[in-house]
Amino acid sequence: MAVPNCFTEVRIPDTSPLIRYIGSWKVYYSSSSDSVWEAGMMGTGDSVHATNQVDDLAYFEYPGISSVMEGQVLGGDGVRYTLNGVQKQVDISRSTGNVSTWSAASGQQDVGVHTAMIEVTKSDPSFLTGVKSVSSVVGIIAETTDPNLLSCHETTFVDALQSSQPQVLPKGPWRPLNEFGGVGGQRVISYSSIVADSTASIQLFPPRGSNFISLNGTVGFAYGTYSVTVDPPLPSIFARERNGFNAGAQWAAPGQLLYYTPLNPQEQYTITVTGDTDPTKFLGLHSWMYCDYALAKNGGGGGGSGSGGGKSNVGAIAGGVVGGILGAALIALVFFLFLRKRKARSPPEEELFTVDETIDATTTPYDPPITPLAPLSPLARTEPPAPRSEEMRESVVSGSTLVPQLLSKRESSTTSVPRNISLVEHQDAGAVEPAAVEHLPPSYNPEWLATRSSTSPSDAGPSKPTAMSSPPPLPDSKSPTGT
């Protein structure tokens, strides 16, 4: 395993179960509007854990290289600080009145698990020692030494359960909550969590390559103990001696840091969180977060959290698209040069035929050549046409170049397909004699039959009319007399 090379600070408030209090410690809130305590009420204002009993102690076990414990002291300086069993100096700064602030710093240590402890050494009813917060510098394994470039992902357990995320596996009677508070007249706040009031557990599966994990949840009067196990076991420089914690507190506090640890990015871990065996105690979980060993390639700073357990790497996507386009262009260029070189080596192909684009017709190699038509004169003819002679009738039209060219004999072509064409000619026999015309009245009248029958043969013409069942046809344009 690589050595931790990226160091970041983790701040833990005094209400976090990661700080263990042994003795008669109580939590106090300053600047709070709540004067009467009721079970289940939220603590409001600035909190501090304090005691006036000798030998009471508070200690903090952490993986990292350094830590700082801070608090307040009233009426004296009876505070002793030890790191890994070795007593260290406590810096006390006098403030106005009897209240002073104290700070105990470990200094830089080797990478590993350390224990910092504060112990009360003076027994005096007027003396009060308080713990405000603890900060720790933790070392993790990453591609960078800048913690701001880390890519971290945070997901609430309500979202994970509702979307059935494969990285979260609940076991037990978990139920989701979206609100918190409302006890003792306090306001209700929006806060999502999952709770279970009997033995329940949840398994987390951070992806391979994760180098850090943290867990947030709820503490309060109705909450009990919980434990965190990591499989496979953590490296010795990250492994705490004790992995059981107590979420019970006099005042309820949402969003507390319940657990954190660096991970070996080469391992695939399973983190199991198990609640109290007491069926009257709750375990409340809000969210969990893991960070990546690899850097975020989008150029932005990491350290933030993303919903849904993941982020889209915009830089990688853009690089892939640009690379794909350049690759396709290179392939197309090579293919074009190959075709051009191949065409240059090949002999030119002979054209089978030539198409005359000036003729508005479809031409095939099997058609004989067509003589272009002479254009018609755009001028109108003003002189009357000359009388036609017999010779002119045979040639159809005289004085026009159109028809003689159409009737001109085509030259034989060796490429054309021979056609059997018969030319039918005829001679003009003169005008057709008109047939005898019989004039009829506009409409047929039966009385005409009697009149016609009484007419003499010399008046009736060469043929005798006979009675008909239908009227005779009237002359039309198709009859010989219509020409």
Residue 326 predicted with pLDDT over 60: yes
Whether this prediction's pTM lies above 0.95 is answered by: no
Please tell me the total number of residues recorded for the chain in this structure.
483
CATH of the domain at 171: 2.60.120.260
Domain annotation covers residue 133: yes
Domain annotation covers residue 425: no
- What pLDDT does residue 292 have? 94
Domain annotation covers residue 452: no
Domain annotation covers residue 281: yes
Within 8 A by CB and 6+ apart from 20, the residues are: 58, 59, 60, 61, 245, 246
Give the range with max mean pLDDT: 197-201, 219-223, 295-299.
219-223
- What pLDDT does residue 175 have? 93
Tell me the torsion sign for CA atoms 295, 297, 298, 300: positive
- What pLDDT does residue 157 have? 97
b (16+ CB within 10 A) / e for 112-123 = bbbbbbbbbeee
In percent, how much of the chain has pLDDT > 70?
63
Cα 217 to Cα 256: distance, rounded to the nearest angstrom: 5
Centre a 10 Å sphere on the Cβ of residue 141 and count the other Cβ atoms it contains. Answer: 20
Report the range of poorest mean pLDDT among 102-116, 146-160, 314-328, 454-468: 454-468
**Number of domain units in the chain:** 1
Between strands 26-30 and 46-51, the pairing is antiparallel
Confidence band (pLDDT; 50, 70, 90) for 258? Answer: very high
Let me know: does 215 contact 160? Beta carbons within 8 Å: no
Domain annotation covers residue 338: no
Please give the structure tokens belonging to residue 427. Answer: 């001679």
Domain annotation covers residue 243: yes
Model confidence pLDDT, tens digit, residues 381-425: 444 445 544 444 443 343 444 333 333 444 444 444 444 444 444
Q: What sections of 295-370 are H helices per DSSP?
A: 314-345
Let me know: does 26 contact 250? Beta carbons within 8 Å: yes
Let me know: does 112 contact 262? Beta carbons within 8 Å: no
Domain hosting residue 166, numbered range: 6-313
Greater pLDDT, 2 or 18: 18
Model confidence pLDDT, tens digit, residues 125-150: 667 888 999 999 999 999 999 999 99
Residue 318 predicted with pLDDT over 90: no
- What pLDDT does residue 307 have? 40
Domain annotation covers residue 22: yes
- The owner of tokens 């031409």 is 363
Domain annotation covers residue 199: yes
C-alpha Rg value of the chain to the nearest Å: 55
Within 8 A by CB and 6+ apart from 427, the residues are: none
Model confidence pLDDT, tens digit, residues 346-378: 655 554 445 555 444 444 444 444 444 444 334
Please give the structure tokens belonging to residue 217. Answer: 């949840």
